[in-house]
Amino acid sequence: MVNLSVQIGALTLKNPVIAASGTFGFGREMQQWNELSELGAICSKGLTLNPRLGNDPPRVAETTGGLLNSVGLQNPGLEAFIATELPFMKSLGTTIIANIAGHSLAENVAMAEQLDATDVDGIELNLSCPNVSQGCMAFGSSAPMIEEVVSAVRAKTQKPLWVKLTPNVTSIAEMALAAEAAGADAVSLINTLLGLAIDRKSRRPVLRNNTGGLSGPAIKPVALRMVWDVYRAIRIPIIGMGGIMNGEDGIEFMLAGATAIQVGTANLISPTACHDVITNMSAIAQTENMAQISQYTGLLQPW
């Protein structure tokens, strides 16, 4: 049998497969198709300090090889999450990560401080959100801004802190180095690529918000390249994501340098996607006589 456990800082996950934020809700809808205790971890829906209804529809559109979304962080707010959703998630028997997506430095700090007093296992800080106090520039688009917000959040929580990076930058390695320097325990990448879908007949964008985040198999080569770039630049673990649809994809991300992976869009196609990826990765490792799944990390041999 293959040892599927992986270590991300102080957290030991039973396997490297994590349900990505925004595609798994809080696990309630997925419970009927999955034994959720078998997952490595679940990342919550992206949370804001106050409840949000999200963007006006249409806010999801299929594209060639991918999915474009502009849901707009619809969520019940942090207070409701702590009171209602977190106790449910903690009953599932797996590692629970709260994804926070504040729209200001103060909002991210306040959420981290409140979550520090809960029994959530870790925090994933989403830096793809616009910082309203900085002209709506995404937190993750500037290394100094990343250092500022990660340092401020780090000062308010002892929880394991993962920093989710946007790919919409010039150098993803530079952004990862900034997160590491500021005290991140791991980085997760990549978040969605900014995209546009057009309805030729109406001559309007398909999404009401005009642009949205592209995910799915179409972005996998970009994601693999960025994981590899970051792996060669930092020492903290990487959680890789971006178009992972099966176990083969998951192994490829580990070869590029990921310690664990997140499955996102695949959950919207098949509600058993995470479980299927775990099973497939285990079978591959067994066929290749790998005693531990973690042995795959960083084995990529460039020409």
Q: How far apart are CA 179 and CA 147, in angstroms?
A: 6
Indicate which CATH number applies to the domain containing 110. 3.20.20.70
| pLDDT average, residue stretch 14-21 | 98
303, part of any domain: no
275, part of any domain: yes
21, part of any domain: yes
208, part of any domain: yes
pLDDT number for residue 128: 82
- The string of pLDDT tens digits covering residues 107-125 is 999 999 999 999 999 999 9
| pLDDT average, residue stretch 75-92 | 98
Q: How far apart are CA 209 and CA 193, in angstroms?
A: 15
Task: Label residue 137 by pLDDT band (50, 70, 90).
Answer: low
Q: Give the predicted TM-score (pTM) of the model.
A: 0.96
302, part of any domain: no
* 60 in Cβ contact with 71 (< 8 Å): yes
- CA-based nearest residue to 85, from 108, 38, 35, 51: 51
219, part of any domain: yes
**Is there a catalytic annotation at residue 129?**
yes
* Residue owning tokens 């349900």: 19
Q: How far apart are CA 134 and CA 111, in angstroms?
A: 19
DSSP the chain: --B--EEETTEEESSSEEEPTTSSTTSTTTTTT--GGGSSEEEPPPB-SS-B--PPSP-EEEETTEEEE-----B--HHHIIIIIHHHHHTTSSEEEEEE--SSHHHHHHHHHHHHTS--SEEEEETTSEEGGGTTEEGGG-HHHHHHHHHHHHTT--S-EEEEPPS-SS-HHHHHHHHHHTT-SEEEE--PEEEE-EETTTTEESBTTBEEEEESGGGHHHHHHHHHHHHTT-SS-EEE-SS--SHHHHHHHHHHT-SEEEE-THHHH-TTHHHHHHHHHHHHHHHTT-SBGGGGTT-----
How much of the chain exceeds pLDDT 70, in percent?
A: 97
172, part of any domain: yes
1, part of any domain: no
Look up the domain containing 152 and give its range. 6-296
- CA-based nearest residue to 295, from 262, 261, 243, 258: 258
- The string of pLDDT tens digits covering residues 174-187 is 999 999 999 999 99
* 238 in Cβ contact with 189 (< 8 Å): yes
* Averaged confidence pLDDT in the chain: 95
List 43, 129, 136, 274, catalytic entry: 129
- The string of pLDDT tens digits covering residues 199-227 is 999 999 999 999 999 999 999 999 999 99
Total domains present in the chain = 1
| pLDDT average, residue stretch 101-107 | 92
